[in-house]
Chain A
Amino acid sequence: MHPESYLAQCGSRWDSRTGALSMPIYQNATFRHPGLGQSTGYDYSRSGNPTRTVLEETIAAIDGGCRGLAFASGMAALDCLARLFRPDDTVVVTEDLYGGTYRLFERVYRPMGITAVYVDTSDTPAVETALSQGAKALLVESPTNPLLKVADLRSLGHLARAYGALFVVDNTFMTPLLQRPLSFGADITVYSATKYLSGHNDVVGGLLVARESGNAEELAFHQNAVGAVLGPQDCWLTIRGLKTLGVRLRRQQASALHVATFLAGHPGVRRVHFPGLPDHPGHDRQRLQATGFGAMISFEVADAAKIPDILAGVRLFLFAESLGGVESLITLPAVQTHADIAPEVRERLGVTDALLRLSIGLEDPDDLVADLDAVL
């Protein structure tokens, strides 16, 4: 069955008693036991909740994993992942990544003895060098946030296996419909479900998918023990969002190409980062490992002094954090999503004060271009 067919019906067959097409919301904390030592399969919602189960099973099914786990936020999902590590472990991480992940590793886990080593993961030899020093895990974003650099996932999968490292991919920008890291040997995929998966800018959530049962069990243990689970209402809203993931993403991608092409030809724009543009360094690599280029664009304006006016002047784009929803958003990574990364590191990476990031939504692409044209 095509993943989109599966998604259209996720949760539609759960309630055999009533036949409800929409998964019921089990707004419920605890469950009655039939008797001593007996269980219906559900005891306490931190450990398991039917609405959360459907979300977790759905993401696992379309991602090709054996188990899914839902958390209160993308960061909570990453935190659960980090609990697989121990003091003195080293983790090789994409150097240009979401600032919140950077903050977690630097401010929370480094003091606990876990060392993050940052590498340009689009540079396969550089990754090998880093892994050869001894690493417990390799955590990759591809395309990266916000520069949209593309890693060679298949090669990284081989390297991780060769060096005995856990291979984790934050697949938020792509979603399983465009890219399935587990099929390239990733052990775990991570999602901020807040973004494309729920897709409507109204739910904060995170997901992990494990390829094998060993990792799945350990992650599930931590999900239960630590308890940063996603509540039933939010699980339900995320399930609802997943049903239209395919149609949303297809339209958003097509519009993104249209907008990126416009930006690439604009005199006020110095550089555009979008894997769908033929001259993007990762364009060919992206075509081999994904079925699309996504709907995220970042671009450098020629004159950084214009940025405040651009952000104040947009009428259709909303100046807000986050991405992946039906409304188009514009952000300034240097002061928003990547504020936690040290300025000199940001500059070296190219996340400058002149870099803007766009998340393309479902608005008409010509309307979006007109909005940008007016402010540029």
Chain B
Amino acid sequence: MDLTTLLVHSGAAPEDGFGDLTPPIHQSSTYAQDHPQGLGPYEYSRSGNPTREAVESAIASLEGGARGLAFASGMAAISSTLLLFSPGDHLIASRDLYGGAYRVLTTLFTKWGLETTFVDTSDVDAVRRAVTPHTRALYVESPSNPLLRITDLAAMAELAKAHELVSIIDNTFMTPFLQRPIALGFDIVLHSATKFLGGHSDVLAGLAVAADADTGRRLKDVQNAFGAVLGPQDCWLLLRGMRTLGVRLTAEQATAAVLAGWLAERPEVSRVYYPGLPHHPGRALHARQADGAGAVVSFTLQSTAAAQTFMQSITLPKLAVSLGGVESILSYPATMSHAAMPPAEREARGITDALVRLSVGLESAHDLMEDLGQALEKSVAV
């Protein structure tokens, strides 16, 4: 079955139900049992809920993994995954990654003895040099947030296997529609399903997919014990959003490509980051390991003041946190997605105060260019 078809039919309601076209919302915390010994397939919704299982099986089949798990948020998925490790363990992570992930790694998990070294994962040798006898995992984003840096995923997976590391990737920006890391050798794929998967800016959710059954089992044990599960209503809404992932992302990507090219020609814009642009570093690599450049475009204005004026002058995209929805969203990494990263760390990564990130929605390219154009003109007006 083609991926496009799987998007529509994965996670369908059980065959032995009433024939509902959508899975019923099992808004129940507990389940009546026939016997005290030998409990039935469901006993308590933290451990298992049929509606949650629908979305979990859907993401597992889309990513080509053995097991899917749904969490209350992307950070819950990331944090629950990190609970696989033990005090004294060491992690290597992409230098360029979401501020929330940076925060848990550097402030929360350090208290529990998990150390992280941040490396430019587009440099395979640098990653190799960072491996120590205590290293247990590799954690990457590609394209990264927000500068869309590309990491060689097959090389990372191979390196991980060679050193017996668990390879983990946050695949939020691409989704399985555009990039399938398990096929490239990754062990665990994470998502902020709040973004493109849910797609309508109305569900907060996280997903994890394990490539093999054993890792799946261990993650499931964490999910059950720690309990940061996604509720049934949100599972159902998430699955509903996933039905149109293909058509949404295809259209959003097409518009993003148009906008990226247009922004690259604008005098008010200093630099544009988009994997589809000819001079984007890693463009060819990305084209080999993914099916498209995605719908997130980052760009810098000429100065911090210009960026501020620009953000206050847009009227069509919303100035907001988050991305991946049907409405275009303009974010300011400095105060939003990367606020948790100390300014010096941010600046060192190139995430400056003049950088904005645009998540392209379903509005027409024409309407977006008209609005962004007038905001760009104002950004340089004296």
B363 near A: Cβ within 8 Å? yes
Are B201 and A21 closer than 8 Å at their CB atoms?
yes
Residues of B within 8 A of A327 (CB): 8-9, 21
B243 near A: Cβ within 8 Å? yes
From A12, A240, A248, B247 is in contact (CB under 8 Å) with: A248
Q: Beyond A327-B21, A367-B5: 12 further Cβ-contacts under 8 Å?
A: A4-B362, A8-B327, A9-B327, A21-B202, A22-B200, A244-B199, A244-B244, A246-B362, A247-B251, A327-B8, A364-B2, A364-B5
Are B5 and A202 closer than 8 Å at their CB atoms?
no
Are A240 and B21 closer than 8 Å at their CB atoms?
no
Are A250 and B316 closer than 8 Å at their CB atoms?
no
CB proximity to B under 8 Å, residues A305-325: 316, 318, 320, 325
Residues of A within 8 A of B308 (CB): none
A209 near B: Cβ within 8 Å? no
A104 to B19, CA, bound (A): 27
A55 near B: Cβ within 8 Å? no
A348 near B: Cβ within 8 Å? no
Residues of A within 8 A of B149 (CB): none
The 10 closest A-B pairs by CB, nearest first: A5-B363, A22-B202, A364-B2, A247-B247, A8-B362, A363-B5, A2-B364, A201-B21, A21-B201, A243-B326
A4 to B19, CA, bound (A): 33
A4 to B367, CA, bound (A): 10
A251 to B368, CA, bound (A): 22
Q: Name the distance in Å between B235's Cβ and chain A's nearest Cβ.
A: 14
A243 to B240, CA, bound (A): 13
A212 near B: Cβ within 8 Å? no
A sample of 20 inter-chain contacts (CB < 8 A) reads A2-B366, A2-B367, A4-B364, A8-B361, A19-B320, A21-B201, A21-B327, A21-B329, A22-B202, A200-B240, A244-B326, A247-B251, A251-B247, A316-B5, A327-B9, A327-B21, A362-B8, A362-B243, A362-B244, A364-B4
CB proximity to A under 8 Å, residues B185-231: 199-202
A361 near B: Cβ within 8 Å? yes
**Residue from A7, A246, A364 having most chain B Cβ neighbours under 10 A:** A364
Residues of B within 8 A of A21 (CB): 201-202, 318, 320, 322, 325, 327, 329
**How many interface residues does B have (CB within 8 Å)?**
38
A1 near B: Cβ within 8 Å? yes
From A5, A251, A367, B364 is in contact (CB under 8 Å) with: A5
From B2, B9, B318, A12 is in contact (CB under 8 Å) with: B318
Where the two chains meet, the residues of A that have a C-beta atom closer than 8 Å to any C-beta of B are 1-2, 4-5, 7-9, 12, 19, 21-22, 199-202, 240, 243-244, 246-248, 250-251, 316, 318, 320, 325-327, 361-364, 366-367
B22 near A: Cβ within 8 Å? yes
A240 to B248, CA, bound (A): 13
Residues of A within 8 A of B363 (CB): 2, 4-5, 8-9
B77 near A: Cβ within 8 Å? no
Closest B residue to A328 by CB, please name it. B8
Closest A residue to B368 by CB, please name it. A5
A244 to B327, CA, bound (A): 10
Where the two chains meet, the residues of B that have a C-beta atom closer than 8 Å to any C-beta of A are 1-2, 4-5, 7-9, 19, 21-22, 199-202, 240, 243-244, 246-248, 250-251, 316, 318, 320, 322, 325-329, 361-364, 366-368
Closest B residue to A367 by CB, please name it. B5
A327 to B7, CA, bound (A): 10
Interface secondary structure of B, over-half rule: loop
Closest B residue to A318 by CB, please name it. B21
A13 to B366, CA, bound (A): 21
Interface secondary structure of A, over-half rule: loop
A327 to B1, CA, bound (A): 14
From A5, A240, A250, A364, B200 is in contact (CB under 8 Å) with: A240
A101 to B2, CA, bound (A): 38
Q: Name the distance in Å between B328's Cβ and chain A's nearest Cβ.
A: 8
Residues of A within 8 A of B364 (CB): 2, 4-5
A318 to B8, CA, bound (A): 12
Residues of A within 8 A of B5 (CB): 316, 363-364, 367
A318 to B21, CA, bound (A): 8
Are A201 and B362 closer than 8 Å at their CB atoms?
no
A240 to B243, CA, bound (A): 13
A21 to B243, CA, bound (A): 20
**Residue from A326, A327, A366 having most chain B Cβ neighbours under 10 A:** A326
Residues of A within 8 A of B251 (CB): 246-247
Q: Name the distance in Å between B280's Cβ and chain A's nearest Cβ.
A: 26
Are B247 and A244 closer than 8 Å at their CB atoms?
yes
Residues of B within 8 A of A367 (CB): 1-2, 4-5
Residues of A within 8 A of B201 (CB): 21-22
**Residue from B250, B316, B364 having most chain A Cβ neighbours under 10 A:** B364
A21 to B330, CA, bound (A): 13
A158 to B135, CA, bound (A): 78
A7-B362 contact, Cβ under 8 Å, with A21-B320, A320-B19: yes
Q: Name the distance in Å between A72's Cβ and chain B's nearest Cβ.
A: 19
Are A362 and B326 closer than 8 Å at their CB atoms?
no
Closest A residue to B363 by CB, please name it. A5
A257 to B177, CA, bound (A): 24
A202 to B22, CA, bound (A): 7
Are B240 and A202 closer than 8 Å at their CB atoms?
yes
Residues of A within 8 A of B250 (CB): 247
Closest A residue to B237 by CB, please name it. A240
A354 to B325, CA, bound (A): 44
A4 to B248, CA, bound (A): 12
Residues of B within 8 A of A246 (CB): 251, 362
From A19, A200, A316, B243 is in contact (CB under 8 Å) with: A200
A247 to B240, CA, bound (A): 15
Q: Name the distance in Å between B67's Cβ and chain A's nearest Cβ.
A: 25
A7 to B326, CA, bound (A): 9
Residues of A within 8 A of B200 (CB): 22, 240, 243
